[in-house]
Amino acid sequence: MAIPELMRIFVDIEKLDWDSAWNITKKTFAYTNHTVLPEALERWPVELMEKLLPRHLQIIYKINQTHLDHIASLFPDDMDRIRRMSLIEEVEGKKVNMAHLCIVGSHKVNGVAEIHSDIIKRDVFRDFSELEPDKFQNKTNGITPRRWLLLCNPGLADLIAEAIGEEYVKDLTALQKLNDLVDDDAFIRDVAKVKQDNKVKFAQYLEKEYNVDVNPASMFDVHVKRIHEYKRQLLNCLHVITMYNRIKKSPTKPFVPRTVIIGGKVKQTTFSKHNHMH
């Protein structure tokens, strides 16, 4: 929605002509796609947008018309392609294909892993990739060990440094030296101790902040993702109920104690016919 909103500001408020506004807007935005699953690629009902954001919908229609005119000039007899590349879909009611809007309104489109970027170019957004191959790039998602290991898990960071030195902080490939220690009983014990210490710290945090008492010797079963259908939190909850029912049914069986931890933000705007989640 940032794309039509910037166009609205340029055209309605700043009084720029459409082409100048569109040129600046495209140079402003880059679109990074994080998933190719169809249930995660948003399609917003036109009927809803007409009520909530009528001016933005007008702008989206104009963007689409210019876009489709361009496609038609390149592929005049290919109605299938024009339909596939439209920002507006007509299946099961009119919807705005938000991914298509992002692609058309951005100067670059990124996947977050090489295989992911290949699927985007070859499959999900193939028509757009054929039209503008240079627009599609890869920006691999990665972690910085300084943040994710040194700050979040200093116990493990120190243990690794003692075992293989500190160069891994600047060069993650140095972690391959740990392969030599996979059967080292003392090292494995030390890693387990770091893990257990962290579990104890987390259990203390839960008790202090949330007044929840958990067993730090139990298995921590953790699911932290955005709350969304395709992230399968509901499936996880059903699994928890299933495990509980198994314990109730056969309480003398040797079950491993388990603490299930589910966390995640609610996605800000997920629209569907039956579910409005804010």
Write out the chain's pLDDT in tens, 278 residues. 999 999 999 999 999 999 999 999 999 999 999 888 887 789 999 999 999 999 999 999 999 999 999 999 999 999 999 999 999 999 889 999 999 999 999 999 999 999 999 999 999 999 999 999 999 999 988 777 777 889 999 999 999 999 999 999 988 899 999 999 999 999 999 999 999 999 999 999 999 999 999 999 999 999 999 898 888 999 999 999 999 999 999 999 999 999 999 999 986 554 444 443 33
- Please tell me the distance from the alpha carbon of residue 45 to that of residue 242, in angstroms, as a whole number: 37
At CA 120, angle to CA 114 and CA 124, rounded to 5? Answer: 155
119 C-beta neighbours (distance < 10 Å), count: 16
Amino acid 255 reads F
**Backbone angles phi and psi of 137, in degrees to 5:** -135, 180
Cβ contacts of residue 214 below 8 Å, gap of 6+?
203, 206, 207, 259
pTM (predicted TM-score):
0.66
CA distances from 197 to 26, 116, 148, 181 (A): 50, 37, 17, 21
Please give the torsion angle defined by the CA atoms of residues 189, 191, 194 and 196, in that order, rounded to the nearest 10 degrees: -60
Token pair listed for 206: 């839960």
- Please tell me the distance from the alpha carbon of residue 234 to that of residue 229, in angstroms, as a whole number: 7
Region for residue 184 given its phi and psi (left: phi exceeds 0; alpha: psi -120 to 50; beta: otherwise): beta
CA 82 to chain centre: 28
Find the helix or strand (DSSP H, E) in which 276 lies: strand 276-277
Dump strand ranges (E) for 171-211.
none
Token pair listed for 47: 């009927």
